[in-house]
Structure 1
């Protein structure tokens, strides 16, 4: 049970409360697991493991021979030979190609019409059918691979027909598009790591969550708030000491996560897919700078939400719902890509999300953007802090305690 001295020197009230809460929560196994293990380490490990499994599976599928059931293979032997050169292994035909792909018996099925050879000899356009299910994400690589081989064979044969008629193959393509991709290997990494800012926010959230609940609803259940509020020390000093403890645990959790990503990031085979990932010291330092005001904001919000609860379990429910709020900026940027404007950096959560995305792209974050991000988040944190202080001063909290 939390205990405090009946008399607390006013000049040392903040530090005394801070050290007391840190010391007591270092003994709490649940808080330690949440702050230093579950959030900081489990998230990066699961993220990297899933990414490695997915990338390696897709790369293996792109390189290994691909079995494809073919209906009517005897009608287009030359097409089949071209597919074999590209790594496709023609398989036995299936009775119902649509049902085969829906049941995932095959990623893709190729069907060649019986009149293929007759139309080909007449120089008429011919058509082959590819059956696939676009809702099956695992089949996308196979479908793309077979489609490109068939289209490449068609373009090659079309060029040969033009040459046979004494015409240049370029006659069929009077307009050509020269693609100039300006994406760098590092900027392409954003496509796969769009949810990384959410990991950092959740880590900060998890780092101080149980501490915030225990220091409000938990102490109310244990009826240990009365000695605190009966103390001659101002309530805001007690609150600031508790918030400092929450911020300390959240910051430590964030540091562990940044270190974990810096280590496990080296095991991501980004170079195999033409990407470059830098999660080193420069990235970690900038993320830490951007996230520090958010640590204070989330700590104040957690304390305020938990203070409204009458029990530990009720506080857990409220704060779990609050945890969904940081998901909004990451989801918006994932499903609704937007061009970042200067004012967006002043919005808490959104500013951190945009800044971390720029760091991943290798573009860096300007001093103006950092300043807007810090100013906006600090302003929101101060508002949340003042609201929490006011709540602690209220008669409602004193009575409910």
Structure 2
């Protein structure tokens, strides 16, 4: 039996005995992401559907100056309420979603054929307020278009003549909050793998130092590279287990939530596809964490180093989540950056070229081999034990 495999079995047995650590890794680390993501999706979809159907209560300042407009708003399920003393304060305190201000000269401007001005006060940073504002703006634009068409018709002019260009907007993005979830899902998958690799690496290096079990292990007539390879294989296996549980959690959540309406395509075939695609990334994280964890002398020190490393490594994923830029060419060789983008494409149901599958995996494998080589060199140094 190969020495590295003996170390691999020994480390797995040690980890299985530490039930608290394994519970944190396999249950909290793997399933927290799917539960959080599906919960957010359910909440977002329900909120968008409710806000789109419910009657909006809109306080109006100067309602007496535009009675016809208010009747039109009521037809659009916008209920006109009494004016408030402090419109801006009421919006800031979330007492109301929006306030409409009608100036005294509104009717006079309409009679003269001049543009009539309205002021809609709302907080664009709040999701509910944005939905309400969009519906109010659409209703006011509809009223404005109707008045303009009537003016042209009264003058014997076909209203169509004012429509120089007709633009049809075909939106291919997912509905509601699913677009934000699409950019959030890869982040949850990647951070789950990283956290698993971080915990295992800290336990297999600094943890063994504190338990004083590392020195007897290194005293065996076995090459340090074999010991490192056994520990690395343990880390990779646990990381893949966390990834598989996370993908299974997302697949189960997709059966509980109708994600098809949100534009997500997460089928059972996505599990082996993403598992194969992300396996090299799990190897890279395990090698990276093993290399950095070898520096630490205590578990607390290892956790400090590895936590900072997790934040630094997740920066590409967070940038891709915000920018949503296309990754192509040599950028596909950049791990995390390319993986984040391509996970999104898979969930959208897009077809990918073979280079888009191979190049990110090749980049992750190359980085993983480099970190594994550096970790093996650390295991050979006397300072690793003494």
How does the TM-score come out when normalised to structure 1? 0.91
Structure 2 distance, partners of 1:62, 1:189, is 16
Structure 1 residues 108-147: aligned runs within 5 Å: 108-147=98-137
> Would the aligned equivalents of 1:190 and 1:357 in 2 still touch at CA under 8 Å?
no
> Would the aligned equivalents of 1:34 and 1:206 in 2 still touch at CA under 8 Å?
no
Question: Alpha carbons of 1:150 and 1:271: their partners in 2 closer, same or farther (altered >3 Å)?
Answer: farther
* Aligned residue number for residue 67 of structure 2: 77
Question: How far 1:265 moved relative to its partner?
Answer: 1.8
Structure 1 distance, partners of 2:248, 2:66, is 57
1:175 aligns with 2:138: no
Which of 348, 373, 378 does residue 386 from structure 1 map onto? 373
> Would the aligned equivalents of 1:198 and 1:326 in 2 still touch at CA under 8 Å?
no
* Aligned residue number for residue 242 of structure 2: 253
Which of 10, 35, 49 does residue 39 from structure 2 map onto? 49
Question: Alpha carbons of 1:270 and 1:160: their partners in 2 closer, same or farther (altered >3 Å)?
Answer: farther
1:134-184 Cα offsets, whole Å, 9 max, x none, are: 233331101111111011111111101110111111232223223344x27
Secondary structure of 2:385's counterpart equals helix
* Aligned residue number for residue 216 of structure 1: 205
Question: Alpha carbons of 1:43 and 1:191: their partners in 2 closer, same or farther (altered >3 Å)?
Answer: closer
CA RMSD across the alignment = 1.8
**Runs of 4+ displaced beyond 4 Å:** 188-191
> Would the aligned equivalents of 1:35 and 1:208 in 2 still touch at CA under 8 Å?
no
Structure 1 residues 17-56: aligned runs within 5 Å: 17-56=7-46
How many residues align? The count is 385
Question: How far 1:370 moved relative to its partner?
Answer: 1.5
Structure 1 residues 283-362: aligned runs within 5 Å: 283-362=270-349
> Would the aligned equivalents of 2:63 and 2:70 in 1 still touch at CA under 8 Å?
yes
Choose 243-252 or 111-120, whichever is displaced more: 111-120
Gaps of 5+ in 1: 1-10
* Aligned residue number for residue 186 of structure 2: 197
Gaps of 5+ in 2: none
Secondary structure of 1:195's counterpart equals helix
Which of 342, 366, 370 does residue 357 from structure 2 map onto? 370
How does the TM-score come out when normalised to structure 2? 0.95
1:66-111 Cα offsets, whole Å, 9 max, x none, are: 1010111122111111101111011110122122212222111011
